């Protein structure tokens, strides 16, 4: 199992947490041996969860270039038709994936093409099931222009999520592969994908548990004619 290197400071924090708890147990009269045991136990539980959260397993991306895969692992919670007037400037299908604290949080490109980081946008921290969160919450925005369609991706911060990260060059457009890792959302959040209406045929269902870079969620329509 692979782990993201970003886990390192959290492992140090887990060790510090265990040490502090050991001292607190001593201050409250718990015996030295028991305090040490409890401190080590809590440190190991905390570190174990951090390793679990920052896991980064390999994924087998389907080979068919006409398929669209999930950009995040979690529950496919919403599919809505909305007008996206800032970047795509057209009617779109928005596919929303909600991530729990148990899901893999590494994000992957749903299509191949050219990726442009459009920026980090400060905002609120509404619960991500709130429809307004797509527009007003803090988020990263990425635009991928591929063969047959484009995809606008937003990594959305929720009340628990502390940070969203884009790992590729933020200052230039780069060529990317479908299923390639591009970023991470730390500690639960939501990811939205916008596709121009009519460009894709939805294959996944609301409520389905999807895996980033692996689960097929749509097919590009008439790709060979575009």
Which residue numbers are catalytic?
189
Q: Pull the structure tokens for residue 151.
A: 């995809």
Q: How far apart are alpha carbons 37 and 48 in whole angstroms? A: 16
Q: How far apart are alpha carbons 56 and 36 in whole angstroms? A: 32
- Measure the CA angle with vertex 69, ends 7 and 149; round to 5°: 120
The DSSP code for 53 is: H
The dihedrals phi and psi of 172, each to the nearest 5 degrees, come to: -155, 160
Burial state string for 22-57 with b = 16 or more CB within 10 A and e = fewer than 16: beebeeeebeeeebbebbeebbeebbeebbebbebe
Q: Where are the beta strands (DSSP E) in 9-63?
A: none
């Amino acid at each position: 199992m692979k782990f993201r290197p970003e886990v390192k400071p959290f492992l140090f924090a887990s060790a510090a947490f265990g040490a502090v708890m050991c001292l607190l147990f001593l201050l409250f009269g718990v015996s030295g041996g028991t305090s040490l045991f409890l401190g080590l136990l809590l440190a190991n539980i905390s570190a174990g969860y951090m390793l679990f959260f920052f896991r980064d397993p390999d994924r087998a991306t389907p080979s068919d270039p006409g398929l669209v895969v999930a950009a995040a692992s979690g529950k496919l919670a919403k599919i809505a038709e909305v007008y996206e007037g800032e970047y795509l400037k057209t009617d779109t299908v928005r596919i929303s994936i909600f991530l729990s604290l148990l899901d893999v949080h590494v994000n992957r490109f749903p299509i191949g093409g050219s990726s442009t980081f459009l920026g980090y946008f400060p905002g609120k921290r509404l619960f991500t099931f709130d429809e307004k969160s797509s527009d007003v919450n803090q988020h990263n925005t990425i635009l991928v222009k591929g063969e047959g369609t484009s995809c606008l991706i937003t990594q959305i911060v929720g009340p628990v999520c502390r940070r969203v990260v884009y790992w590729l060059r933020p200052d230039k457009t780069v060529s990317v592969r479908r299923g390639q890792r591009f970023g991470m959302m730390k500690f639960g959040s939501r990811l939205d994908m916008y596709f121009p209406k009519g460009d894709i045929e939805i294959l996944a269902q609301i409520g389905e548990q999807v895996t980033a870079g692996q689960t097929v969620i749509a097919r590009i329509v008439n790709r060979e004619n575009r």
